[in-house]
Amino acid sequence: MKIILLAIIFAIPCLGQTARWYKGNTHAHTTLCGHADSPPAVVAQWYHDHGYHFAILSEHNKFIDPKTVKLKGEIRKDFLLLPGEEVTGRKTVHSTAMNVNRLVPWHFDHGHRSKIIQKHVDETIKAGGATILNHPNFGWAIQAKDMLPVKKLYLFELYNGHPSVRNFGDHKHPSTEELWDDLLTQGMTIYGVGSDDAHHFGQWNPGKSNPGRGWVMVRTKELTSDAITKAMTRGDFYASSGVMLKKVVRDSKRIEIEVDEEATSKELTSPILYGRKVKEGKPGYSVEFIGPKGKVIRTSNTAKASCEVALPYLRCKVTRRVKGKDGSLLEHYAWVQPVFTDERAKQTE
């Protein structure tokens, strides 16, 4: 009887283990690269002290072993440094190698960028990790044709907080979101990441690449490097530049979301966030459900919305529009990952 009772007691925590949301940044730099202002311990401490659950010290062609980074004071149990590197290669191909067990080489070159990206992916897998292709619009380096042929690339930076990366494109070049729609429409299984690409933790202004501007919320049962990486490569996360969600349902039939208005307000009062300046629109929420070719299938102005998934995929974007101190309109976003109903649904199971 005793043995049975013990078995039941020990079984309960396992049964009760449910997935929860973890906030993380996959892209930050340190003094080791020569053009950032803080050492690894200070950078990691910033993320720890600002409520993040995980961070990657993604240094240019350097592997920072999390074991060598010592934080100060009482360290939260729910904080993790994931091992990583920013593989900084030829032709402005940069990628975050997340969850790697060693330095990933970066020297390869080729006439076609797609081959360079493929090498980043393959070498990162060999080192036990997964690739996030970084800031495609930096130097206008990466186009859809460069990403489409790449195998096992599931993640790219849809939003990067560095002021020079041109997330929103210009009159000649597509935004990273238009690039995403193009890739999804052409059949790629690819999810959008939000990150800081932070370099500056000492001086704060819009021209500096400060932390806290872009992040991911990842849903997993446990906070480990493997669990976070697996959840991201199967799309179980959303990217944010300020909007927080309390509910995200992504099943084969529908996407349903609910904004966490309290958490979003808290983020938006932070002096760290700047938002994207826009000319049109009213303050408030806008939820868009978006299908192939970037077509908006349904729009809602409430904090709670859902939409049936049509062939071959659907994604959701939440915008919070606010008036800045100078009267300008600023937008902050949450991007929910697409749900696929074609053969890609099998790849992500």
Q: Which positions touch Zn ion (CB under 5 A)?
A: 86, 94, 134, 197
CB of 140 to Zn ion, least distance (A): 14
Contacts of 193 (CB under 8 A, 6+ apart): 26, 132, 155, 156, 157, 158, 159, 216, 232, 239
Residue 141 or 263: the one with the smaller Cβ distance to Zn ion is: 141
Between 58 and 114, name the residue whose CB sits nearer to Zn ion: 58
Torsion of CA 81, 84, 88, 92, to 10 degrees: -70
Compare residues 94 and 120 and give the one whose CB is closer to Zn ion: 94
Q: Closest approach of Cβ 312 to Zn ion, in Å?
A: 32
Residue type, 233: T
- CB 182 to Zn ion: min, Å: 22
Sign of CA dihedral 53, 59, 63, 68: negative
CB of 26 to Zn ion, least distance (A): 10
Please tell me the distance from the alpha carbon of residue 106 to that of residue 120, in angstroms, as a whole number.
7
Smaller CB distance to Zn ion: residue 120 or 315?
120
Residue 330: CB minimum distance to Zn ion, A: 24
Tokens of 249: 């349902």
Residue with smallest beta-carbon separation from Zn ion: 94
What is the C-alpha separation between 114 and 292, in angstroms, rounded?
23
Nearer to Zn ion, 121 or 255 (CB): 121
State the CB neighbour count (10 A cutoff) for residue 214: 27
